Chains A and B, each alone.
Chain A
Amino acid sequence: MHDFFSRGVRVAGCALAGVSVVLATACNNILQVENPQAFTNEAANSPTLLPAVAAGAEGQFQLSIATFAIMTGMLSDELQNTSTWIDWKQVSDGSITVNWPTAGAYSGAQDNLLRARFDAISAAQRFETVMGDSAHTSPLFIQVEISRAWDDLELAMGFCESPPSPGVATVSDAAMFQQAYDSLKALLPLIQAAHFSTAAERTARTNLANAGLARASLMLGKYTEADTYAAAVPAGYEYDAIYSTNSGSQNNNMTVQGTFTNNRSYTIRNIWDQYVDTLTGYMRDPLSGQDDPRIPLGHDNNNATGKWYGADGISPFYSMTKYINLNSPIPITNKAEMNLIQAEVAWHNGDYPTAVSDMNVNRLAVGLPALTVPATNPDSGVFNMLLQERFATMFAQGDRLQDIYRFGLMASRVGTNRPLKLPLSYNEEQNNRAIGPGGGKCPGRS
């Protein structure tokens, strides 16, 4: 018995030792695997990959514009929900519930911008890590820093509050405009000092910074600066959010959700129905009665009303054909906006002829008749023209909500007891420890 026991123990011991040796030898590093579809943080510090890091920061900003434009448009007098999604309907109806169990669609709009901003911040830090002191004269650094500033600018345009940097408490939209303004202003000398390979690249970045400064200055009431920066942007300039058909995530979501051949989930708000020409498929310019080529609307030739139904099956729907293709670009800013900024500055200054003249540059370019200064009540008359021109020129680009908000038009044009801007993202509120659940402070209501 004892002999057997000891033999058994010896056999077991030998077997265990054998197994251990075999495992130790054969299994060295066997528990290490690689992920072939992503880069590790360390691998991304390769100089070869830095252009892709910069492109990621700017590209994500551009991709975020479509959803941002839908959500801000639906809260304003621009767009209206026709989907079957409750959270879209809430934004459109202005009845966003505070405690909706999951993040509403508006959260996605802000989340995308916040993440794009983080991409820019982390990209800039990576450049400093890899390039050292030379980072700040790198065109890549300029590229991501401008993107960061524009992220802030759009956050200010759509949301009543936003965290000004990762993981911190929120500040007001006015503070976000100021941050964007400060960032862009600080960038101007860096752009001049950066080692761009061509003059055209430097010019492109300068124009984008000036356009951002013009908009931020306008929103901050710095009218003289706004006029100066807007004037510095050359004719024909445009900076677009670029989409593609290469994958679903790169599609223009405004096309995906707003066209008849796609999802039919939003359309132009029905207060504009009276101006829609259901024969030609354009909204008529209220100021002239002519079709406005800036607002094309697909229509149903087989229906007397010219309308289809939305995805919900009951809401009348015009197809939003400004973005007809899944890769149609969305203008983020352009010279036409700059003209209107200059017009607005002139209106503020009581220079109505200049204001109308600036607006007419845009109108004549699209074949609409020129406006004239009204003989009576020119201040309100020019203001109405300005409001309408901003609507038409920047239709479905994500700018309308800020106009409705800053001119105090939510109650009169859309309805009472509506949020004045989109609230803080639910995801940011829940997961940002500097804010916490229930920490959102706004928006006020109309």
Chain B
Amino acid sequence: MDRLRSTLRLRPTSAWLVFAAVIAALTAVPLSTASAQGAGVVVGTVTERGTGQPLQGASVLIAGTQLGTATDGRGHYVIRGATGRVTVRVQRIGFRPAAKTIQVPAADSVAVDFELSASAVELSQVVTTGTGGAVEKRELGAPLAVVDVASVQAVKPSTDMTQVLEGQVAGLRSVSVGGGVGGAMDLRIRGVSSFTLDQRPVVYIDGVKVDNRASDWTASLGNQGCCNFNGGVGEDRLSDLNPNDIDHIEILKGAAAATLYGSEASNGVIQIFTKRGQTDSPPQWTIGAGMGFDRQRPNYPTKLYPNFTGPDGTRALDMNKTLIKSGPYGSYDIQVRGGARQATYYVSGAYSDEVGSIQPNDEKRGNLRVNVTWDANTKWKFDVRSAFDHNMINSLQSGNNWTSLTGNASNGDPRQATALRPYGEAWVSVADIQRMTSYNAANHWTGGLTINYQPFEHFQNRLTVGNDQVSEAKVRFFPPDGNYTSAYVHNGEKDDDFRNQTIYTADYLGQISFKLPFGIGSDFAFGGQGYYDTEWLSASIGKVFAGPGVSTVSAASQTFGGEIYTHQVNLGGLVQDRFSYGDRLYTTVGLRIDGNSAFGKNYGFQRYPKIDVAYNLDGYKWLPTWINSFKLRGAIGKAGKAPGPYDAFLTLAPGAVFTNTPSLTPSSPGNLNLKPEVTTEIDAGFDAGFFHDRLGVSASVFKSGTNDAILAIPLPPSSGFSQAQQQNVGGIQNTGWDLSFNWVTIDRGDLQISNDLKLDGNHNKITDLGSATPTTSVRVGYPVGGIWSVAPKSYDAGTKTWTSTDTAVYFGPPMPTFDLSYSPTVRFRQFQAYMLVTAARGAMFNNADRPYRFREHTGDEYLKLLGPGGADTPAADSTVALWSRFTDIESRDNVELREISLAWSVPRSLSAFARLGETTVTFSVHNVMWWDHCACQDPYTNWAGASSFGVSTAFLTDPAPRQFRLTVRSRY
């Protein structure tokens, strides 16, 4: 096993060689060959108004050109190549943009400094995702949110990308759903838009599509002798990223905004922009270190266990006191960024080691990133990225799993406690579970090259090619001397599962700007985008070892294997024109056409049109002076979601019968007419700034409809085919709203208080089932995945039986209909305090743990009902009978104090004394406390981890990690 780990760790990635070649080629070009000779230079410093603090990462651009850079840690910038009368524009998220027009003499330099004021409004911010070229937000009619990750990291340092997004964007759900450290998070935008397809938004990093899988994949290998490794809880490949490498994230909230991404975008698009260096900047080092611990909240229902003894006199243990421990945490990261005249670099490395509170469970992650840009001349610009992540997760045994660690302890019967099974474990002893090895080791490489070519002032071209490659192993070992009979394991078992996913992305965009008659401006964009996604899964399983001492599959007496390969191609073309009239009215008309290998043979290409309008009211004299900016916007657009790679194929599956005889049986009925799900979304709202942009308000109402949602239509078993037929017959509607307030309440130099409030609501319902037969839980007029169950009616104490309603009763939707996040930030001199409170209501779930415990005659709730000496009571009988027949449907409504943090900017005198640079010390606690109505450990958990469709049931799950952190960051 160690050999396997080291192999994974050391395996060379061929992509690195490609990257090295590109870097070598770039560096081989003498910088002096660039055509900046004789041109002018613009230099300056960008600081924060009031405090005078330098602002790092502010974008400085020469308007109408490709010339630009970002400020370094001292707030400095240098732009070469500008000559004549130019406009210098500066912007940074959270500050009001500024611009100055200056005259730059040839072969001379001009200094231009800027002071930026804090701003709650971001309408002047330039965005690029799904817009057909760089554009200010004020020109956009579609909803697009931006998260300044660098700022978020400053107040609540996190080592997990999806954790960074918690509570940051109205309508974006990013929550832990169980599985301990390394468990996946549920990430989705604006509710549920599909019956069968993945609900996660598609994710790009610097234009390259990346693996966003968060669900368990070992089960995909089917009946190869193995199973769900962790009870359905998967690892989250987005967690491989180092959040400290991220500059900002742009989020397209739905189909109306994401049309240009075509057949993969109906769940929205998340585009991650990583950091870059700055031109003419000396190396700037940032070093960070974190320490702390994880400690779970002790709320498992085993507090009464020590009141009982087992048959051998062993007193039962309360797992809250024995299994919950403090898991240490440490993180170290280093970044260096800077640049020469025409080239910049950003290089970073990070390592983190987090041990879960319930052990064994830990995550060790290492990250390396190199980003290089080269402004060859005023026409050509090259950008090369390479990032390598190694993520090693010792997975918590959790979820729907015989070896669920806390599940065995909390479902144990304390009256059966023995010295070897002190919790009266339900299936497998805790000691044996803790002796298991179960880990996921992933190597993840993402690389990309972007070439910008601007032959003329008004004609730009951008080509991005990239590759995302995940190579992960999932390994589990049951020692042969352990007792795992309940998990069907005898004399040991070794499972080695491997997954290799490779996604190639190519994306070209051309943009021509010109003027039409009547003063109408036109930005015409055209291009094409394609990706090729391959996934290879394999498994090797060894069962029954001769005895302890060996641990490879080959050392087992029975060996099995399995393999699955899928691949999918998508090609799309797009055209778009953004028309502007004056500086107020903007409208964009666009069309994307896609072909996809997963479409049925009889189906051709899919068209996705869009149109949006933005109208800016600022500047009108009739507008009250306290309204600084006000943009009305509306958009309608379509986006799609392609079917699974082989859903359209009619297939016969090979297998084996009579021990070793090959067999063929009907498997998938296929569908030659299968096409993508197409979601049409209408979105309208406004973005406004009030009181000198101290209060920013953004509001949207939306209605989206998916009229050809793919439903898995089961054929009657008498008609064969073990798999259901995928048909585009369903209709799903989401209606909702989202609203965000960003209020810079006080900004007085030493004291700054800001309040951020985000709210959203969403109502989901099925509008059509086509020819599909409604089932108990899939009915027109009710939400997708609605929670239904027969309900108890009456109890007969004589027979100890309950009667039920004749039909299933609707309890509620699986997803919240209302979400809130509130985060105040207070900065006073060197101190900054931050808090994030979230609330959710409306969602219901099947709390499967509770009935299970009653059926097993255990758990605090049951034990409390017993009489003296543990005798049965009528109340106990009644409750056992109740939960022997019914599922327990409960509310997920909750309020959670998700984050608190206190940051201290160490005075220069002190940091210099310690030979540190500009230093910040942050203490933070994540998942601090929550209040709910359910008899559960955490109202967010579900047994299938981040699986879109396991969301409605919690079973043997564990709460999200509660993390205590002390972080020190110093910049030189």
Contacts and interface: CB of A to CB of B under 8 A. Distances in A.
Interface of A: 1, 4-5, 8, 11-12, 15-16, 19, 23, 27, 30-33, 35-41, 44, 49, 51-53, 55-60, 62-63, 84, 86, 89, 95, 97-102, 110-112, 114-115, 117-119, 121-122, 162-163, 165-168, 242, 244-250, 256, 260-264, 311-314, 327, 425, 427-428, 430-433, 435-437
B745 interface: no
Contact of A8 (B459, B651, B714, B773): B459
Given A39-B652, A118-B719, A256-B488, A55 B657 contact: yes
- Which size class do B's interface residues fall under? 35 or more
B807 A99 contact: yes
Nearest to A256: B488
Contacts of B568: 33
A16 to B, nearest CB: 6
Given A12-B512, A86-B884, A248-B225, A430 B773 contact: yes
Most chain A C-beta atoms within 10 Å of own C-beta, residue among B665, B668, B857: B665
Nearest to B657: A59
A149 to B, nearest CB: 15
A342 to B, nearest CB: 30
B808 A118 contact: no
Contacts, number: 253
Given A56-B663, A242-B659, A244-B656, A84 B852 contact: yes
Contact of B808 (A33, A86, A101, A431): A101
Interface in B902-948: none
A242 B659 CA distance: 7
A263 B856 contact: no
Contact of A12 (B510, B596, B717): B510
Contacts of B804: 97
Sort A-B residue pairs by CB-CB distance and give the 5 closest, nearest first: A59-B657, A118-B720, A56-B663, A38-B651, A249-B223
B656 A250 contact: yes
B856 A84 contact: yes
Interface of B: 222-227, 413, 416, 426-427, 458-459, 461, 485-486, 488, 490, 508, 510, 512, 514-516, 524, 526-528, 558, 560, 563-569, 571, 573, 575, 595-597, 599, 645-646, 649-668, 670, 713-722, 773-777, 788-790, 801, 804, 806-808, 852, 855-858, 884-885, 887
A111 B717 contact: yes
Given A110-B717, A263-B486, A431-B715, A242 B528 contact: no
B744 to A, nearest CB: 42
A30 B666 contact: no
Contact of B659 (A98, A246, A260): A246
B716 A432 contact: yes
9 contacts: A1-B515, A16-B575, A38-B651, A39-B653, A40-B651, A41-B651, A84-B856, A248-B225, A313-B413
B806 A101 contact: no
A264 B887 CA distance: 22
Contacts of A115: 665, 717-718, 720-722
Contacts of A33: 567-569, 597, 645
B661 A30 contact: no
Contacts of A432: 716, 718-719
A313 B856 contact: yes
B666 A119 contact: yes
Contacts of B566: 35
Nearest to A20: B573
A260 B666 CA distance: 35
Most chain B C-beta atoms within 10 Å of own C-beta, residue among A111, A313, A327: A313
A312 B773 contact: no
Given A97-B790, A119-B666, A23 B718 contact: no
Contacts of A263: 486, 488
Nearest to B883: A86
Contacts of A311: 427, 486
Given A40-B650, A99-B808, A101-B776, A56 B657 contact: yes
Contact of B720 (A1, A4, A100, A166): A166
Nearest to B524: A12
A63 B575 CA distance: 55
Contacts of A435: 716
Contacts of A262: 485, 488
A33 B571 CA distance: 13
B526 A12 contact: yes
A39 B654 contact: yes
A102 B885 CA distance: 14
A97 B777 CA distance: 16
B225 A52 contact: no
Nearest to A83: B855
A23 B226 CA distance: 43
Contact of B223 (A39, A84, A248): A248
Given A12-B510, A31-B569, A262-B488, A101 B714 contact: no
Nearest to A36: B565
Nearest to A85: B855
Contacts of A102: 776-777
Given A8-B512, A167-B718, A313-B413, A247 B569 contact: no
B856 A167 contact: no
Contacts of B224: 247-248
A348 B141 CA distance: 86
Contact of A4 (B514, B573, B884, B887): B514
